[in-house]
């Protein structure tokens, strides 16, 4: 996609008044989602992109600045622009919001309890935008901070998007695996928080009594193209941690 794409989109958007830099941003995002540039890859320079797309260098700069604000790319002075990686530092900053009461944020350890495949039930299908009965992979794990278990997670993904996930040795950082192995970076997530009582089947794993208060975090993760790619249900003990959100 080059200047013909921009010209066509400009004609289609003539009545919508969508800024040109947003159309350039969308073209660049599409290139990342299609695998042209992988996590950690350097993106062509602003002059190269401007010539390719038939727009000004200032328009490209504004598009890349917008992508940097969305944490889709990283701008490094004098070195260029890179597709953002899902390393531990980024996950801790953007996606893991449980912070110990007595210290700074830390990346948790993980222990997988079960990994298996099956057919999506109604809730799983709705969260992931799948047909009911589509094949999914389910992961169950415990997460700990400083050796103390504080989170039980149930994770569901479409098997078609992550075909052999249930046969892999799984790392602590799943988002990095999604991006580097499958080319599916999680760009953003939508969370719903609710206080619940510990379910009977999960309470022992968390070391609490049935009905003990827990924080439930219901999260859907979205790929760079906006498609839902992961549903994660986390049940969290909060005696020694709190949920921290930067609302800038």
Q: Using one digit for the tens of pLDDT, what is the confidence trace for 101-115?
A: 988 888 889 999 999
State how far the Cα of 99 lies from the Cα of 107, in Å rounded to an integer. 9
Question: Six-digit token pair at 58?
Answer: 């200032």
* Domains with residue ranges and CATH for the chain: 3-83 (1.10.10.10), 97-243 (3.40.1410.10)
Q: How confident is the model at residue 203 (pLDDT cuts 50, 70, 90)?
A: very high
Contact of 90 with 84, CB cutoff 8 Å = yes
**CA neighbours within 13 Å on the CB side: how many for 163?**
3
Question: Cα–Cα distances in Å, from 233 out to 153, 154, 155, 200, 219?
Answer: 6, 5, 6, 16, 6
Name the residue with higher pLDDT: 14 or 36. Answer: 36
pTM of the model: 0.74
Mean pLDDT value of segment 187-192: 91
Q: How confident is the model at residue 5 (pLDDT cuts 50, 70, 90)?
A: low
pLDDT of 144 above 70: yes
State how far the Cα of 223 lies from the Cα of 228, in Å rounded to an integer. 6
Q: What is the DSSP letter of 211?
A: T
Contact of 240 with 156, CB cutoff 8 Å = no
State how far the Cα of 41 lies from the Cα of 60, in Å rounded to an integer. 18
Burial class (CB in 10 A: 0-12, 13-18, 19+), 167: exposed
Give the per-residue pLDDT at 105: 81
**Could you read off the pLDDT of 165-185 as tens digits, one per residue?**
999 999 988 988 898 888 888
């Amino acid at each position: 996609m080059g200047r013909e794409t921009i010209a066509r989109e400009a004609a289609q958007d003539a009545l919508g008044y969508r800024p040109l830099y947003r159309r350039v941003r969308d073209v660049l995002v599409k290139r990342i989602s299609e695998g042209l540039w992988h996590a950690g890859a350097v993106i062509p320079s602003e002059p190269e992109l401007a010539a390719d797309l038939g727009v000004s260098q200032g328009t490209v700069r504004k598009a890349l600045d917008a992508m940097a604000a969305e944490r889709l790319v990283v701008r490094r002075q004098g070195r260029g622009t890179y597709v953002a990686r899902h390393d531990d530092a980024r996950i801790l900053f953007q996606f893991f919001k449980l912070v110990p009461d007595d210290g700074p944020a830390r990346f948790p350890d993980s222990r997988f309890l079960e990994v298996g495949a099956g057919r999506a039930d109604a809730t799983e299908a709705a969260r992931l935008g799948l047909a009911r009965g589509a094949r999914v992979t389910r992961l169950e794990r415990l997460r700990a901070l400083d050796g103390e278990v504080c989170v039980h997670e149930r994770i569901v993904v479409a098997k078609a998007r992550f075909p052999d996930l249930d046969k892999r040795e799984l790392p602590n950082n799943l988002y990095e695996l999604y991006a580097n192995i499958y080319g599916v970076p999680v760009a953003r997530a939508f969370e719903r928080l609710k206080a619940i009582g510990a379910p009977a089947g999960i309470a022992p794993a968390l070391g609490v009594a049935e009905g003990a208060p827990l924080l439930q975090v219901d999260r859907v993760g979205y790929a760079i193209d906006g498609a839902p790619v992961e549903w994660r249900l986390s049940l969290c003990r909060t005696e020694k941690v709190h949920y921290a959100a930067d609302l800038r």
